[in-house]
A and B are shown apart, each in its own frame.
Chain A
């Protein structure tokens, strides 16, 4: 048994660690729930959680008779998207009056396709966007891209186009039809070019997530209706779009952040900065104490840093000492390294004395409750304010997973190092004093301190053979 106060402290530390971990887990599960919910409408066949979907969404979730799509389909979908994006760029040249042309042409297009299963793609005439046909999405996609019942009728139309086309032949010119409808809103020119959701619960996005595909037979009947609805609500019905209020707020937000960060670099900031430093100095002088401006937090953090520094310096020294210099050059470098390490160590010691002087001289106050004493590797600068977040671009899910795994590992190592220090401080003295069950204690302490609690050593009594 461990002494009471020691037990209390250690148990408290470990429970803190467990709580921190549990908090992370809770937040992660919250995010997981949200993400799963969002994906459920796109991949009903894939989600493991068989929760009943709320009413507004059922219309959008016709379970497809097809199974989940293959990665090939996904790839083809991506290629289609790229083609459509190219189309957008082409379309940027089109004037705004082209809207009406589009409306007419789509109507005619839909009428055409509903009447026929011809392989000829519905091609609105007089559209400059016919140029788009040069973008050729892969063929295979034609057969698989179908909407579900609950999709916007406009999308039904576009897919209907393609499906109709696809059934007849392998002609792969879906360009004009879906192009009108599936344009990334980033073109941001005219309303029709943005995406918007057509009906409630049909929260699909710019291209069709796969499980909503169905054989196109159900479409033929729907086409006339789609034509009708198209003619009524064309400009703002076809496309997928974030709510207007949101977009306005978001653009205003980013404008303001940009204004804020540009204000940082103007000349008036220098004057403000000097005024600030002068004010701080005056405060310091009138406070009656010399002070170094350090806070207890900063001192503690630096001491921790110096401890880490000591460990790393020692490690480097051992590396150098154990290496066998092969020639003069290497010997010289070893020598220089050792001397350099010595110089750095002296700097660290000096800094430590300074910190000590600061602490003693200023009688820094007690630690505020609940604050972390300091990380083992804290970030260097706190001066850069947290502006509108930077972008972090990742290219694949594996990359993202590696990144997150590394972050978690760093947090875990941080925690482990802290626990190690705490355990060392508490348990080593106990081993030093021999008491009852000393061997068991020794074994347990060795496992906790030296193996992270994962492995145990064995102790044998060395009985002399009689």
Chain B
């Protein structure tokens, strides 16, 4: 029975292939025609350039209007640049086949290999859905709950004239101060935006055709207004497709291997310290407890379980950012007085809890780093006698 079903499935699948390919070519950005796919299957060279371009568009993060990731450039990059970018991106994602890396850079060959690469990308993850999510129009006021999508997308590459010469450390201090000030300004602006958003949501309550939403978002309110102003058709087109904000993108670290060794050293040091602390305690404990009765074992088990739970929670703090149930990606903001009962959607209070725990974690990390620095500096400074170091107050 199973075999028959499988054969039927395969038959059905073969029949569905042309449709699937047609749909694929419609969905993908700069989608090549199904004919290109067919030619690529036979490794025809004329199919290669289209596939290189497709892979480039798919792999380079899309900006708002679907243009390439470098809006600073007026036209799409050259074929060589595209080929190089695709190769490097695939390699960094872990593409296993070496054949791709060996294809010529003029983009004239290797269509079958490119087809394989595309298949690999499609099989690995929700590529189409991600593309769709990037380019869709955002109707609601969205708030991204986790920054991973933004992280996957590099910020706008701004060509910068760097300070070539040596700078004084006071310049660094000045830059840090400027940064702190900017953050403060950002926070104030954000609070104002929240207040305005709250007002708009209150005012438009009841206007939405979707009952579960209840009120309009900014985009929809704009639609209403501008529709009345006669700009009905253009408003849909100007709905902001990109609501998420880019995060901080540092430069390519020039000493990538250093981190690994640093972490290894730290972990080993920690292990030594833990061993040094735990072993004597265990020995002392065994000595004390050796003769105790069986009623003790139940208590012991309870303690073990409790400690196990605590440590699991600790592990979660760095492994999954504290909440496995945290949704991915942007959420639509909806102002609602409905209580915590029922209904779809997250409650802001819960999200706030999760964020607070993450904040505590990050603060701990930062404090720990600062403490390490203090110890290190104290050690270095201690080398010079004859000085008194007065730490700043307010610690």
CB distance from A126 to the nearest CB of B (A): 26
Interface residues of chain B: helix, strand, loop or mixed (majority)? helix
Contact with B along A325-343 (1 / 0, CB 8 A): 0000101111111111110
Residue on B nearest A239 in the bound complex, by CB? B207
The answer to whether A332 and B300 touch across the interface, beta carbons within 8 angstroms, is yes
B27 an interface residue at 8 Å Cβ cutoff? no
Shortest Cβ distance from A56 into chain B, in angstroms? Answer: 5
Q: Is the beta-carbon distance between A2 and B168 smaller than 8 angstroms?
A: yes
Query: Is B160 positioned at the interface, with any CB of A under 8 Å from its CB?
Result: yes
Q: Which of B173, B228, B271 contacts A342 (CB 8 A)?
A: B271
Query: How far is B228's CA from A57's CA once the two chains are assembled, in angstroms?
Result: 10
A445–B377 CA distance with the chains assembled, in angstroms:
9
Can you list, as one digit per residue, whether each of B288-332 has a CB less than 8 Å from chain A (1) or not (0)?
000000000001100110111011001101111110101111111
Contacts beyond the supplied A38-B200, A390-B332, A415-B247: 20 A-B pairs with Cβ under 8 Å = A9-B254, A11-B163, A14-B175, A28-B190, A32-B192, A32-B193, A74-B202, A185-B207, A249-B236, A337-B307, A344-B311, A381-B320, A391-B346, A392-B346, A399-B349, A399-B352, A400-B197, A417-B362, A452-B370, A462-B387
Cβ–Cβ contact B223 & A246, under 8 A: yes
The binding surface of chain A is classed by DSSP as helix
Is B260 within 8 A of A356, CB to CB? yes
A400 nearest CB across to chain B (Å): 5
Partner of B91, one of A365, A384, A459: A365
Whether B250 and A422, one on each chain, are in contact in the complex, defined by CB atoms closer than 8 angstroms, is: yes
Residue-wise, chain A 185-222 has the 8 Å CB interface mask toward B (1 for contact) of: 11010000011010111110111010000000000000
Complexed CA–CA distance, A40 and B154 (Å): 36
Smallest CB–CB gap between B269 and chain A, Å?
Answer: 9
**Which B residues are in CB contact (< 8 Å) with A253?**
139
B210 on interface, CB distance cutoff 8 Å: yes
A-side contacts of B157, CB under 8 Å: 369-370
- Are B270 and A314 interface neighbours, CB within 8 A? yes
A158: interface (CB < 8 Å): no
Cβ B251 vs Cβ A16 within 8 A: yes
The answer for the CA separation of A393 and B307 in the assembled complex, in Å, is 35
Residues on A with C-beta less than 8 A from B216 are 205, 242
B26 within 8 A of A: no
Task: List B contacts of A458 (CB < 8 A).
Answer: 389-390, 392
Number of inter-chain CB pairs below 8 Å: 619
Residue of B92, B129, B391 ringed by the most chain A CB atoms within 10 A = B92
- Specify which of B85, B166, B282, B363 is in contact with A7 (CB 8 Å cutoff): B166
Neighbouring A residues of B202 by C-beta, 8 Å: 74, 78
Cβ of B182 within 8 Å of any chain A Cβ, yes or no, is yes
CB distance B186 to A342 under 8 Å? no
Contacts of A251 in B (CB 8 A): 209-210
* B234 is an interface residue with CB less than 8 A from chain A: no
Bound Cα distance A333, B190 (Å): 45
Does A436 interact with chain B (Cβ within 8 Å)? no
Q: 0/1 per residue, A26-65, Cβ < 8 Å to B?
A: 0111011011101101110000000000101100000000
Question: In whole angstroms, what is the CA distance A316 to B315 when docked?
Answer: 11
Contacts of A393 in B (CB 8 A): 334-336, 338, 343, 345-348
Report how far A369 CA is from B345 CA in the complex, Å: 37
* Of B202, B203, B206, B220, most A-chain CB atoms within 10 Å: B206
